[in-house]
Amino acid sequence: MVQQCVQKHKHVIFIILLLFTTLLHQTQAHQFSKKLSQKGFGLEKEKLSHLHFYLQEIVTGDHPTAVRVAEAAVTNTSKTAFGATVILDDPLTVGPEITSKIVGRAQGIYAFADLSESALLMVLNYVFIEGKYNGSTLSILGRNAPLTSVREMPIVGGSGLFRFARGYALAKTHFFNVSNGDTVVEYNVYVLHY
Ligand SMILES: *[C@@H]1O[C@H](CO)[C@@H](O)[C@H](O)[C@H]1NC(C)=O
Ligand SMILES: *[C@@H]1O[C@H](CO)[C@@H](O)[C@H](O)[C@H]1NC(C)=O
Ligand SMILES: *[C@@H]1O[C@H](CO)[C@@H](O)[C@H](O)[C@H]1NC(C)=O
């Protein structure tokens, strides 16, 4: 009896099944979000790393690593160079000498963003090339008052080995050449990542 019924309506059953699986497939293909297990994603244990390097900034000569790209009408008369905007691609070295081994670069923008004291808005990436860090980046977004002995800037994220990174960078001027403006800044970076 049942068999006869199935036999009779097999085309209808087939079409219903087809529609159902197509619908199911479509809802899956268009699923916007789903929960994942952190463990299954390889995010088991958060690590704390300390990075130490020197940033070499050359502002004069034929091969500057930092160039002023914009300024405001008031920048020249402002005691804090308010409005001046600089793009940089500074080498990061293991030691303080310019000839020291390069472990990465600091690439981004800083802008003089304080009307009453000398302070910069920093928006940049550290792009590493050393060993296992090669290709990984850390993103910095913070305030840098260069006349303060130690400046703290937040690490707001990262890529590669530094996915899900958070932490902070401490910057300390190691050397400032008053005659040409070239600067060496020592960095201690503390970063949590997986
Ligand atoms: C600021 O001064 C520099 C050098 O003196 C000059 O080249 C530049 O045009 C000035 N900028 C403005 C916006 O006045
Ligand atoms: C870093 O990775 C790039 C691209 O994979 C490679 O060409 C380069 O040689 C690597 N550098 C170092 C220092 O390992
Ligand atoms: C500082 O800059 C001047 C002018 O470019 C240069 O002659 C001098 O060698 C620099 N000093 C150091 C220690 O790099």
Residue 122 CA, distance from chain mean position: 12
When the pLDDT of each residue in the chain is averaged and rounded to a whole number, the result is: 92
Q: What is the mean pLDDT of residues 160-183?
A: 97
| Domain span at 67 | 42-193
In a domain, 37, yes or no: no
pLDDT band at 30 (very low <50, low <70, confident <90, very high): confident
Tell whether the model's pLDDT for residue 128 goes beyond 90. yes
Domain match, 11 and 101 both: no
- Structurally, the chain folds into a number of domains equal to 2
Tell whether the model's pLDDT for residue 33 goes beyond 70. yes
List, as one string, the DSSP characters of the chain. -HHHHHHHTHHHHHHHHHHHHHHHHHHHHT-------TTTTT----EEEEEEEEEEE--SSSS-SEEEEE--TTTTT-TT-TT-EEEEEEEEESSSSTTSPEEEEEEEEEEE--SSS--EEEEEEEEE-SGGGTT-EEEEEEEE-TTSSSEEEEEEEEEGGGTT-EEEEEEEEEEE-TTT--EEEEEEEEEEE-
Tell whether the model's pLDDT for residue 184 goes beyond 80. yes
Ranking 13-22, 60-69, 123-132, 144-153 by mean pLDDT, the lowest is 13-22
Q: List residues near ligand 1 (CB under 6 A).
A: 71, 73, 76
Q: What is the pLDDT of residues 44-96, one digit of tens each?
A: 899 999 999 999 999 999 999 999 999 999 999 999 999 999 999 999 999 99
Tell whether the model's pLDDT for residue 7 goes beyond 90. no
Is the C-beta atom of 101 inside 6 A of ligand 2? no
- Compute, in angstroms, the gap from residue 67 CA to the centroid of ligand 1: 14
Q: What is the pLDDT of residue 90?
A: 98
- CATH of residue 125: 2.40.480.10
Distances (CA, A) of 74 to 3, 77, 117, 120, 154: 90, 5, 15, 16, 29
In a domain, 122, yes or no: yes
CA-proximal residue: ligand 3, atom 14 (nearest):
177
Domain match, 22 and 49 both: no
CB 161 within 8 A of CB 183: no
Domain match, 10 and 98 both: no
Q: Does the pTM of the predicted model rise above 0.75?
A: yes
- Compute, in angstroms, the gap from residue 76 CA to the centroid of ligand 1: 6
Which atom of ligand 2 is nearest the CA belonging to 130?
13
Domain match, 117 and 147 both: yes
